[in-house]
Amino acid sequence: MFCYQCEQAAKGTGCDAIGVCGKQPEVADMQDLLVYALRGLAQYALEARKQGIVDKEIDVFTSKALFSTLTNVNFDKDNLAEWVRKTVALRDACKEKLGVTLDGPAAFVPGSTLDEMLVQAPQVGLKSEPDVNPDILSLQHILLFGLKGVAAYMDHAEILGQSDPEVYAFLYEALTAPLNEDLGLDEWVGLVLKCGEVNLRAMELLDAGNTGTYGHPVPTPVPLGVKAGKAILVSGHDLKDLEAVLKQTEGKGINVYTHGEMLPCHGYPELKKYGHFYGHYGTAWQNQKKEFAAFPGAILMTTNCIQKPKEEYEGAIFTSGVVEWPGVQHIADGDFTPVIEKALALPGFTEDAPGKEVLVGFGRNAVLGVADKVIEAVKGKALRHFFLVAGCDGAKPGRNYYTEFVEKVPSDCVVLTLACGKFRFFDKELGDIGGIPRLLDVGQCNDAYSAIQIAVALANAFECGVNDLPLSMILSWYEQKAVSILLTLLFLGIKDIRLGPTLPAFITPNVLDVLVKNFNIMPISTPDDDLKAILG
What digits encode the pLDDT tens for the residues 269-304?
999 999 999 999 999 999 999 999 999 999 999 999
Same domain, 193 and 282: no
Same domain, 132 and 274: no
Q: What is the pLDDT of residues 188-238, one digit of tens each?
A: 999 999 999 999 999 999 999 999 999 999 999 999 999 999 999 999 999
Instruction: List Cβ neighbours of 91 (8 Å cut-off, separation of 6 or more).
Output: 37, 40, 41, 44, 106
- Which residues are annotated as part of the binding site? 3, 6, 15, 21, 237, 261, 305, 392, 420, 445, 479, 481
In CATH, what number is assigned to the domain containing residue 149?
A: 1.20.1270.20
Cα 169 to the chain's mean position, in Å? 21
Strands 329-331 and 317-320: parallel
The pLDDT value recorded for residue 348 is 98
Please report whether residue 520 resides in a domain. Answer: yes
The pLDDT value recorded for residue 397 is 81
**pLDDT interval class at 182 (50, 70, 90):** very high
Please report whether residue 135 resides in a domain. Answer: yes
What's the length of the chain?
536
Give percent above pLDDT 70 in the chain. Answer: 100
The pLDDT value recorded for residue 396 is 80
Q: Where are the alpha helices (DSSP H) in 380-479?
A: 400-408, 448-461
Give percent above pLDDT 90 in the chain. Answer: 99
Same domain, 87 and 232: no
Q: Is the CB of residue 473 less than 8 Å from the CB of residue 498?
A: yes
- Which residues are annotated as part of the binding site for [4Fe-4S] cluster? 3, 6, 15, 21
Domain boundary among 345, 377, 403: 345
Please report whether residue 358 resides in a domain. Answer: no
**pLDDT interval class at 311 (50, 70, 90):** very high
pTM over 0.95: yes
Same domain, 371 and 485: yes
Domain boundary among 156, 185, 212: 212
Mean pLDDT of the chain: 97
Same domain, 84 and 121: yes
∠ Cα 207 209 215 (to 5°): 85
- Which residues are annotated as part of the binding site for hybrid [4Fe-2O-2S] cluster? 237, 261, 305, 392, 420, 445, 479, 481
Q: Is the CB of residue 344 less than 8 Å from the CB of residue 224?
A: no
**pLDDT interval class at 475 (50, 70, 90):** very high
Same domain, 374 and 300: no
**pLDDT interval class at 6 (50, 70, 90):** very high
Same domain, 41 and 167: yes
Residue 228: helix, strand or coil by DSSP? coil
The pLDDT value recorded for residue 191 is 98
Q: What is the pLDDT of residues 100-109, one digit of tens each?
A: 999 999 999 9
Mean pLDDT value of segment 446-451? 96
Domain boundary among 312, 345, 378: 345
**pLDDT interval class at 398 (50, 70, 90):** confident
Buried b (16+ CB within 10 A) or exposed e, 290-314: ebbeebbbbbbbbbbbbbebeeebe
Mean pLDDT value of segment 23-39? 98
Same domain, 63 and 191: yes
The pLDDT value recorded for residue 168 is 98
Please report whether residue 353 resides in a domain. Answer: no
Conformational region of residue 107, where left means phi above 0, alpha means psi within -120 to 50, and beta covers everything else = alpha
Q: What is the pLDDT of residues 48-78, one digit of tens each?
A: 999 999 999 999 999 999 999 999 999 999 9
Please report whether residue 3 resides in a domain. Answer: no
Mean pLDDT value of segment 349-374? 95
| Amino acid identity at 404 | E
Q: What is the pLDDT of residues 212-222, one digit of tens each?
A: 999 999 999 99
Same domain, 116 and 195: yes
* Number of domains the chain contains: 3
Using CA atoms, how far residue 199 sits from 56, 234, 243, 416, 449, in Å, is 19, 26, 26, 21, 10
What's the burial of 219, exposed, middle or buried (CB within 10 Å: 0-12/13-18/19+)?
A: middle
Please report whether residue 282 resides in a domain. Answer: yes
Same domain, 406 and 500: yes
Stated as kind and residue range, the H or E segment containing 413 is strand 413-418
| Structural domain span for residue 528 | 364-535
Please report whether residue 357 resides in a domain. Answer: no
User: Which candidate, 174, 176, 175, places its Cα nearest to that of 195?
Assistant: 174
**pLDDT interval class at 395 (50, 70, 90):** confident
∠ Cα 412 414 418 (to 5°): 165
Same domain, 380 and 414: yes
Please report whether residue 4 resides in a domain. Answer: no
In CATH, what number is assigned to the domain containing residue 485?
A: 3.40.50.2030
State the chain's maximal CA–CA distance in angstroms: 70
Same domain, 139 and 120: yes
